Amino acid sequence: MGCIMKVLVIHGPNLNLLGKRETKIYGTLSLAQIDRRITQRAGEQGFEAEIFQSNAEGDIVTALQKAAGRVKGIVINPAAYTHTSVAIRDAIAAIDVPVVEVHLSNIFRREEFRHESLISEVAAGVISGFGAESYLLGIDAAVARSCSISLPRGSGVCPPSSCWARMTSRIGRMTVRCAARTSASAR
Ligand code: DQA
């Protein structure tokens, strides 16, 4: 059994225009450049990033539903749907996967209509205002959250190496056995 742990990153509407769109607020990095950083950060933590962008609310709902049982964590920038979408909120509430809500801008320092998020109440946490770094912090948070979920014993699921240190302090001997299994399956 493979040991690839996945984290799903969802970019909402208009984020395909990053780099050209309102650069004073959102910065000059394109979505492709941000995605490369996301892939790298996830890889450093032993995770594979699966990245999806859509301008359509229903497609985001479908992506969330399909992620259940398949990925260890989700990082989502719902963009304008943050402030309007009951459907995305309900999809997040319906799945048993930790979801980190991220925003490039600090939505609380902007227009009043952006201060309300329908998503935050069902998210594991929120990161807002650090530009592209928000996504990377989101990956770190999703990984940390998934590492805190105990390993299913005997399931053949291996923890990413970034989880080992944390697990050593929690469950000692079991970590050693998992580490041995990981290196055996890597051969
Ligand atoms: C955003 C903030 C939203 O209010 C806005 O509609 C976006 C981007 C952000 O990343 O800062 O499209 O989610």
Q: Report pLDDT digits (tens) over 59-91.
A: 999 999 999 999 999 999 999 999 999 999 999
Q: Report the predicted TM-score, pTM, of the whole model to 2 decimal places.
A: 0.84
pLDDT tens for residues 114-134? 999 999 999 999 999 999 999
- Residue 98: pLDDT over 90: yes
For residue 21, report the distance from its CA to the centre of ligand 1, in Å.
11
pLDDT tens for residues 16-46? 999 999 999 999 999 999 999 999 999 999 9
Contact of 95 with 67, CB cutoff 8 Å: yes
Contact of 98 with 36, CB cutoff 8 Å: no
Index of the ligand 1 atom closest to the CA of residue 13: 12
Which of 60, 77, 117, 120 maximizes ligand 1 atoms within 8 Å of its Cβ, making it the mutation to test the pocket? Answer: 77
Which are the catalytic amino acids?
26, 103
What pLDDT, on the 0 to 100 scale, is given for residue 176? 41
